[in-house]
Amino acid sequence: MTLSFAQIALDSVEPRRLAEFWIQALNYRVDEEEEGVISLVPRNGDGPPIDILTVPEHKTVKNRLHLDLRATGSTGSEEVRRLLDLGAVRADVGQNPDVTWTVLADPEGNEFCVLGTSGE
């Protein structure tokens, strides 16, 4: 027996705003929308679906699990600039200054890394 990813689930107090960020960040689209959940899928079929679930509480502590994303068709540094323009913010999770990735947080504070952003 083995497991495979069914989807990634993100809790959100502002699901529409978070969905718009990830749609632009990952080139996804809305697949379904029903009360309490917005389901996103990749436009090109490459990648796991994302369900954005409505919750009443804000995120309060660092994620125990995060996404590591790699730039395709651009440099990591270019992607970091694009993501910052979309509403991401730089995040400090205690990383060393010489790491080869950049830690960002989406508009609701969920940390993720953009790989290959140093020494390109």
| pLDDT tens per residue, range 40-84 | 999 998 899 999 999 999 988 888 889 999 998 889 999 999 999
Q: Are residues 51 and 81 in the same domain?
A: no
Strand segments, DSSP code E, in the chain are 8-12, 28-34, 37-42, 50-54, 67-70, 89-90, 101-105, 111-115
CA dist 101 and 111 (Å) reads: 12
Into how many domains does the chain fold? 2
Tokens of residue 108, six digits: 């609701």
Q: Are residues 1 and 51 in the same domain?
A: yes
Q: Which of 38, 57, 76 is the last residue of a domain?
A: 57
Domain range spanning residue 10?
1-57
Q: Are residues 1 and 50 in the same domain?
A: yes
pLDDT tens-digit map of 18-46: 999 999 999 999 999 999 999 999 999 88
Q: Are residues 49 and 77 in the same domain?
A: no
Q: Are residues 45 and 8 in the same domain?
A: yes
Handedness of CA 116, 75, 51, 62 (dihedral sign): positive
